[in-house]
Structure 1
Amino acid sequence: MQRDWNEELQSCREFPHGNPQERILRGRALYKVTCDFVDAAVKGAVGVINRCIPPINPTDPECFHMYVHNNIFFSFAVDSDYEDISKDHKPDCQNGSSRSTKVSSPDVITKPDANHGKSAEVVDSKSEEAQLADSEQATYASANNDLKGTKAYQEADVSGLHNLAMAIVDYRGHRVVAQSIIPGILQGDKSDSLLYGSVDNGKKISWNETFHSKVVEAAKQLHLKEHVVLDGSGNPIKLAATVECKGIVGSDDRHYILDLMRVTPRDSNYIGQEHRFCVLRPELIASFVEVESIKQSLKQKVPDAPVASTSDAKATSVEGDDKSEESSVHTHEENDNSSSEILFNPNVFTEYKLAGSAEEIAADEELVKRAGTYLVDIVIPKFVQDLCSLDISPMDGQTLTDALHLHGINIRYLGKIAGMVKHLPHLWDLFSTEIIVRSAKHVIKDILRQSLDHDIAPAIAHFLNCFVGKVLGASTKSSLSNAQSKTLKGHENSQTQKSTKGPKLSHAAVSRKSLSTYSHLTSDGIWFSIKEFAKSKYQFEVPDEARLSAKRVAVLRNLCRKVGITIAARKYDMDASSPFEASDMLNLQPVVKHSVPTCTDAKNLMEAGKVRMAEGTLNEAYALFSEAFSLLQQITGPMHKDAANCCR
């Protein structure tokens, strides 16, 4: 019997939570239902990628197929730029079919193709493959941002405002987004169900007073500003969220909010259409708001104080950052009134038209710029200082990622931080290795995406031999597969110029040809792709000696965890030219990102316990950690990483 995931989830969220015991019962029910949903979503996504589940729109191109299985909606994470190249896109209310902000793209002429449905001839100097590579990166970013936005609204926990259970599954180079289904969204007329936001990139913006009041309540907790935008006809619309978000009423009369790609404002250090999904992390926004509120309270207490110099202001900000990291729950409550006045307009630095005076728009943009400056000038140097003083001691790629996110630093700043710790060999090795592994992950995903079922193990083994060993070939650059060249925009442009002299192949012919090209990959070609990707994504120049550092078990383990590869546990000769065989590849597991809720009460107790431990009051810290562990045992059970952290 199939479970109604949405009804179970929303019913659990409607449980009373006025006292601690009610919150424990509600948290336990939410955790159980969400974990069961993630398990079902992983199984369904694997079935979708393995083509065991039929699509609900089989006449569309394969990359636009959508699936419903076990009351879960599955869709490939496809960006609107990709859709513009392949076919005319028809937006839909259901999340996933219009996943990202649509931007201007080159003119496209579509014509039928016997083997591949529709192929696109792009009338532009930029090649189609290069645009697909850009679109793929934007797709990954938009899906990640959507998941972060869903988590943010879950934590806001506004009564009457619902969101969907969501999971992102990466498997065999594909990214599948799994969501619970809004009741009635797949049947009947969907035009009347949209109450809030836009499905056509701001040309027509829907608005509902009841829905808006709920979004405003959530926006206060997310530090978002109620502002006015103009639709395509020039009509002013008051919003408290991004234009592309969608508020939908289901057949169960519940209000759902979807497409939450930009819950936080854009990163002012990455402005431009190519960086349209570069947004600030929620942790950074919370830290910035708290530091600014402390500054405001100090100014109110000392109104006649002289204006501080730039260096003094930075020092004050660093002190404020320390206080924000070590503040207790009581300090946070005291600053709620002042911090509520620091609100961000999420639609600044976008293509949407903002209403209001020029001064107001300039003030909103200046606030976002200050947050970006705070990240680069205060947070990152403080993070590097903590690394050097061993206050933060990441041991591998996962702990490094967790530490960066905890401080509100995006992964795209890895290259910048690596340049700041170049004088410390152990930190330089940690950061450079993480950049190399993340770049290699994208290269191998391109290979897996175009490999047949029976070629998965040989393709992985050959890639690892190229990555770790020394696989030679006649020509380095010419032996790059279509999958690799699609990853690199600059390299693809050069390849396109070379191929203009020869006959033009259709997209389907190129795809068929690239299915077996993994065997022609070379070590030099793989590392060329990795270096180019690291330079493009992280602004990092991979040193030549990095190939020697890749011959380590720790690097291999990091890469396997990120891609989901299971290899045989034996001693490999890393100095051999081909240390791996196809028989060593035991399995390929899906890698999952999910929206399983966290226990807020236990989290606050753990943070307070860390503060007490830093102050040296060990008895109070022990009592707080014990209470947090007791809560986690009742909600998540003892087999949970937060429960383990309480027992350290």
Structure 2
Amino acid sequence: MADRDQKETVVDQPLDQVPEEAPVEEPYQLTIKLPASGKLNEIKILVSARESIQDIKQSIMESPETCVHSCFYLKFNGKRINDFLELGEVENITTDSELELVEDAYTEKDVRLHVNRLRDLLGGPYKPNASAIGIDTALSYLTAVTGEIDEEITAEGEKKLEDLFSDEPVPEHAFTGVDVNAKSKLSDFVPKAFNRTPPQCLKSLALSGWNPVTHARRLNGDLLYLTVVTLENETLCITATSHGFYVNQSTLTEFNPRGRGKHAHSLIRLLQLVSPLFAKNFALAQDFITQHHMLEVLPINTYFPEQPWAVKPEVPTYDATRPAETLLNFGPDAAEASRDWNDELQSHRELPRTNLQERVFRERLIAKVQSEFTEAAVRGAMAVVQGSITPLNPLETEDAHMFVYNNIFFSKANDGRGTMEAVGGDAAAHVATNKDLEGVKIVNSVDPEGLSTLGSVIVDYKGVRVVAQSIVPGIFRRQDENAIVYGSVDNGDTVAADKTFHDLIGEQLAKSLHLAEHPVKDGQDHTVSLHTSLETKGLLGADGRRYLLDLYRLNPVDIEFQEAECQTKDGKPTYPHQMTLLRPELVSLYWEHKFRQWVKAKTEAIKAERAEEKKNSTDAAPDADKETKEGEAQDEEDEDDIKIDVNEFELTFNPDVFASQASGASKDEVEAQEQVVRDASKFLNDEIIPSLVLDFASYAISPLDGDALTKAMHRRGINMRYLGKLADLVSLSQDKRIQHIYDLAVQEMVVRASKRLLRKYLASCTLEESRSCIAHYFNCLLGEGVNNKPLPVVPFGKSRNDFEWTHLTPASLSKKLQEQVLLWFRFALTDNAVAQLKSLPTLREICLRVGIQIEAIDYRFHAFTDDEVKANADEDARLESLRAKNQKPTSRKNKKQQQALDALLALPPRRKTTFIPEDILNVMPTVKQAAPRSVFAEETFEAGKMSLAQGHRQLGLELLLESLTLHEQTYGYLHPETSKCYATLAMIYHHSEDREAALDLQRKAVIASERTLGVDHPETVHHYLNLGLFEHAAGRTKLALRYIRHALYYWDLLFGPGHPDSATADNNAGVMLQSLRDYPNSTKFFERACATQEAILGKDHVITATGYRVLAKAYTLESDFNKALAAERIAYGVFEKKLGEDDPRTKESSMWLKELTANATATAQRARIQQQQPTLMPTNAQAVSSTPAPAREIPKGELPIDQVMQFINGDSGAKGSKKAGKRSGNKRR
């Protein structure tokens, strides 16, 4: 690659863009000496020099062996170590030093943390979080799916091929007795083996009613009182002192602080002393926790996790201390401890970043405080929507209300003041909030010094969009507009252009974002120059910082779309707003496109100029022939020596073009700027969107769900308003290979239209009314097959006329969806488009987009047959009869009979609709945030991948390992970006046959993806599929099949059958099942893969023919030579037609076709002879199986064993299964 690229034009690049190399660190293997009170004398821990002593203490507290300790310090060489030192800064410390753990005196805060730590341990890895917005937040199912492992990792990675003909019974596995073609059931969404409840250790642990401690007792060292009820039903009153814990003699009615003899520094140790059952069950609870992977237990600190859409109902658990969690966490002054979010965010951004260590530290703190700000913003936004906060301006209209809560400013995404009436009102305001958040992300990614952005979060909850922002100091105290020193607050009547602001934006932001400096006229005809849009504001805060606000117009207008669609035309309605801007990715792509064209033109010009000079010099030279060879060499040298200064290239975008009438530029300048924007808009329509369709057709991208499709479009700078155009292009192509893209695009348009309708309906509902609204909407959308006239469940005390949604019917909803899709996506849905939607994938998408958690049970979407209707009626009649008889005290039944009857009579009434309100278990907010990015970690990651692609494996691996360290230090272990890093490295180690490393990293990738993106996210599914491949390569095929089955279950929920990539997954499953000698099930997978390839690619495609070859091998292993012959014949026909007779695949297929034909002929002759002979039956035979015994009917000698081996392996020179396994294993998603 490097040699081939030498002749490419060299472009000067600044050296500071080259990733800085991190120093290699030697790990520290420390020995920690423990107090004599425990059973262990010491433990060993592995840490790095950059870890702080506080981090090391936290690791000790989280270790199962030392979890009883929470209040201690560490000593080295007899001296106490400062908790805030880094390990490498400790004087005379070495990589194998010995530290001493010394129990410390408690403070009130230490006691609270100690009690909370015990509650966390008792709650287990899935302890309910009272402040969580959803049910089952951030769960991982890996431990439940893994189960008991009864296989060892083998060095060879796979079993020998001779095992394929073993006489041993087929071992049980994940697909034993399973219908592999059955549809996924929603009731299986949570694995049956998943257990969230650890063994119970105490009946109750609560703060005592004798709190707070009196002043006199405080002088005695008392800090807190607890009441504990043990499993032995003994109620204990416990005193927490500065020296530890002891059982006092108080009761619920009498206070007596005297001790009862038992004392310990740790509350856990004390409870182990006074309660044998606690000691026993606490050990079991610790085992339960340690059975889970470390990442399943860790809290998520830097990412707002996704909530599952299908859940099991919550089972309430009694915890007397749960209402006092805030007190335990933050102390008695928690209500007064409001954080200054803006100062925290800005202070962290202003931290030094002169070297790698400072950059990593800065980025880690920014990520953490942003995550905490998001959590606080979500809680505040929910309180705003629920009406729990008084607005600052209660006399204004509700849409214009503003709120402050927990030092965060909240407003609703409506045009409450009419400032956007000209561009679309509320619809434009709704979009502007998205664009503003996008602008904040862009500015933060540039990371300009001297310019600040607000902490920003968008929360959609119950149909209302709330914008949460950090508060600029002094903004509520100012009575004038002098704080705005850049841009305009009155639509251009006055325009400010502070020089410092202008220079800061021009030097850093405008250059990175290709913003054009342009003159703007104000209302008094004064002209000033701006880099940003007129509507972007620069504010000077009371803290002296310069803030950029209202960043929704950082990018220019999509003028081609606006002129074509923002007016009534061709029977289509006018697009709802004119806030139709180009995406930042499109601006970057267009700039790079024009830059490449410029470089090419510049290079051609330089070459032409040099050629002309050469010609002139040649004409002047008398002996031209003598210098021919030297001239050719010089040409090559000149071609390599072409250098271009990139600073000469100029292409900038004016964000005010087509959006503002206040331009102060000349007519020619305005027309030139307009042309640049128009060309970018045309580039999107004429180049980018068609190229995406080509990428879909070539399977360069193959999205599984609407979210993946959205990301694929956004990465190419395509707005979602072009979904309709994308669907039209796919439809016009009439390419079966991308039929799934068309289906996905239509589904996505319906989902987005449903989100808009539900937003409107839910906004008029209270929280308790929302579940009836959602259930009725789902019945009209997805339940028409069960009931085409569903009746809504009207909330108590209301009538149908009180709500718009109660008048919905399947027919009216279908019409509304057609109108919405035409309005927003310029696409005409067919009349049966809604009826043809895939029910579960559509249900999933709507739940995720709107924020709905639904009960994970099996919902019926298709109509009942006549037989089912009759059976249901008979069963209902019998139940009614039983109920009537049960009311008459005539018959006597024993206890078991009565219990069975009661259970039968307690069955709920038969559903008349697919959904009922009780199916909706939660309505929660969906969140968008300006999540920080670690640019350096991402650049190192991309550099590593590029090195691998160029063949520099060792350098690529080192860069990726360095990137992983940076990701873990910046984002933490649980983050989608860290998960991608784990998965990439796991694949590299897999190809290097480092099984243990590959499996360890891939498990981390699975857990991090499950807990941050969701258990059924496409990334998670792909990680499970790869984990299955790695386990199979390591020799643990039964475990691999558990992962494959788990992944295929969610695959079916995500998309259903017919996705192109499902053929690869099915083939891999078939190969694994073959290695276990389960030939019938393996054949089913190969048949399904072949059917998918044929449906999408056609029967005459080489890939389909290859599928038939694989299928022929599967039939051969089943000794079904007739089917094998038929499949091989199809494969040979395609190979011969498409590849020619000389292609190795054609020759190999021809050879096996002859062998199979000869074998089929011999088998038929033998069958005719056997039919003519009398059959001897055993005297005790009761029946004859219709399935022949293939092993006896066709001896292995009929096809030579070595030829069967070669045929199965697909390579006439293969000698073992390892190569075949590698080929199948490399079919990576």
Residue 142 (1) aligns with residue 451 (2): no
Paired residue for 2:544? 253
Paired residue for 1:641? 976
TM superposition shift of 1:353 = 2.0
TM superposition shift of 1:209 = 0.9
Residue 3 (1) aligns with residue 3 (2): no
Superposition pairs for residues 398-409 of structure 1, below 5 Å? Answer: 398-409=707-718
Q: 1:573 to 1:450 in 2, by over 3 A?
A: same
Residue 411 (1) aligns with residue 720 (2): yes
Distance 1:599 1:24 in 2: 8
Q: Which amino acid aligns with 2:942?
A: E
Paired residue for 1:299? 601
Distance 1:373 1:533 in 2: 26
Residue 277 (1) aligns with residue 591 (2): no
TM superposition shift of 1:295 = 1.3
CA contact (8 A) 1:293 1:335 kept: no
Which structure is higher in RCO with an 8 Å CA cutoff and minimum separation 6?
1
CA contact (8 A) 1:467 1:550 kept: no
Distance 1:623 1:394 in 2: 31
TM superposition shift of 1:42 = 0.2
Q: 2:746 aligns with which of 405, 428, 432?
A: 432
Q: Which amino acid aligns with 1:389?
A: S
Q: 1:399 to 1:160 in 2, by over 3 A?
A: same
CA contact (8 A) 1:230 1:355 kept: yes
Residue 66 (1) aligns with residue 368 (2): no
State the Cα deviation string for residues 422-474 of structure 1 (Å, max 9, x = none): 23321111111111111111011111011133211111100111110126569
Distance 1:10 1:601 in 2: 20
Q: 1:334 to 1:178 in 2, by over 3 A?
A: farther
Q: 2:823 aligns with which of 536, 561, 577?
A: 536
Paired residue for 1:457? 771
CA contact (8 A) 2:533 2:655 kept: yes
Query: What's the TM-score, normalizing by structure 1?
Result: 0.80
Distance 2:953 2:585 in 1: 27
Q: Which amino acid aligns with 1:189?
A: Q
Q: 1:162 aligns with which of 443, 452, 476?
A: 452
SS at structure 2 position matched to 1:622: helix
Paired residue for 1:497? none
CA contact (8 A) 1:296 1:338 kept: no
State the Cα deviation string for residues 112-144 of structure 1 (Å, max 9, x = none): xxxxxxxxxxxxxxxxxxxxxx53321221111
Distance 2:963 2:921 in 1: 39
Q: 1:369 to 1:55 in 2, by over 3 A?
A: same
Superposition pairs for residues 321-340 of structure 1, below 5 Å? Answer: 337-338=647-648
SS at structure 1 position matched to 2:457: strand
Deviates more, 1:586-595 or 1:447-456: 447-456
Paired residue for 1:26? 362
Superposition pairs for residues 457-476 of structure 1, below 5 Å? Answer: 457-470=771-784, 472=788
CA contact (8 A) 2:800 2:807 kept: no
Deviates more, 1:370-379 or 1:547-556: 547-556
Distance 2:782 2:950 in 1: 46
Q: Which amino acid aligns with 1:642?
A: E
TM superposition shift of 1:246 = 1.1
Paired residue for 2:1114? none
CA contact (8 A) 1:551 1:575 kept: no
SS at structure 2 position matched to 1:593: strand
TM superposition shift of 1:614 = 4.6
Q: 1:622 aligns with which of 957, 966, 974?
A: 957
Paired residue for 1:393? 702
Q: Which amino acid aligns with 1:200?
A: D
Superposition pairs for residues 14-163 of structure 1, below 5 Å? Answer: 14-79=350-415, 83-84=417-418, 101=420, 103=422, 135-163=425-453
Q: 1:612 to 1:574 in 2, by over 3 A?
A: farther
Q: 1:632 to 1:413 in 2, by over 3 A?
A: same
TM superposition shift of 1:613 = 4.8
Q: 2:856 aligns with which of 569, 577, 583?
A: 569
Q: Which amino acid aligns with 2:647?
A: N
SS at structure 1 position matched to 2:534: coil
Distance 2:799 2:542 in 1: 45
CA contact (8 A) 1:55 1:65 kept: yes
TM superposition shift of 1:102 = 5.5
Paired residue for 1:632? 967
Residue 178 (1) aligns with residue 468 (2): yes
Distance 2:480 2:945 in 1: 49
SS at structure 2 position matched to 1:270: helix
Residue 349 (1) aligns with residue 653 (2): no
State the Cα deviation string for residues 343-378 of structure 1 (Å, max 9, x = none): 111110013321122111111011111111111111
Distance 1:147 1:572 in 2: 38
Distance 2:338 2:807 in 1: 46
Residue 365 (1) aligns with residue 700 (2): no
TM superposition shift of 1:414 = 0.8
CA contact (8 A) 2:800 2:806 kept: no
Paired residue for 2:222? none
Residue 582 (1) aligns with residue 917 (2): yes
Residue 231 (1) aligns with residue 550 (2): no
CA contact (8 A) 1:241 1:346 kept: yes
CA contact (8 A) 1:534 1:540 kept: yes
Mind listing any 5+ residue stretches in structure 2 that lack a counterpart?
A: 1-336, 567-575, 609-642, 793-797, 864-911, 984-1229
Q: 1:416 to 1:32 in 2, by over 3 A?
A: same
Paired residue for 1:129? none
CA contact (8 A) 1:450 1:515 kept: no
CA contact (8 A) 1:171 1:589 kept: yes
Query: What's the TM-score, normalizing by structure 2?
Result: 0.43
CA contact (8 A) 1:603 1:628 kept: yes
Q: 1:512 to 1:263 in 2, by over 3 A?
A: farther
Distance 2:671 2:804 in 1: 52
State the Cα deviation string for residues 482-539 of structure 1 (Å, max 9, x = none): xxxxxxxxxxxxxxxxxxxxxxxxxxxxx99864332221111111111111111111
Distance 2:367 2:776 in 1: 41
Distance 1:625 1:514 in 2: 62
TM superposition shift of 1:617 = 4.8
Q: Which amino acid aligns with 2:422?
A: V
State the Cα deviation string for residues 20-48 of structure 1 (Å, max 9, x = none): 11110110010011110000000000000
Paired residue for 1:109? none
Distance 1:642 1:26 in 2: 18
Distance 2:644 2:339 in 1: 44
Distance 1:158 1:393 in 2: 37
Distance 1:233 1:305 in 2: 52
Paired residue for 1:320? none
Paired residue for 1:187? 477
TM superposition shift of 1:596 = 1.6
SS at structure 2 position matched to 1:35: helix
Q: Which amino acid aligns with 2:502?
A: H
Paired residue for 2:756? 442
Equivalent pairs, count: 542
Distance 1:136 1:512 in 2: 29
Q: 1:512 to 1:278 in 2, by over 3 A?
A: farther
SS at structure 2 position matched to 1:408: coil
Q: 1:30 to 1:302 in 2, by over 3 A?
A: same
CA contact (8 A) 1:551 1:574 kept: no
CA contact (8 A) 1:602 1:628 kept: yes
Q: Which structure has the bigger radius of gyration?
A: 2
Q: Which amino acid aligns with 1:601?
A: F
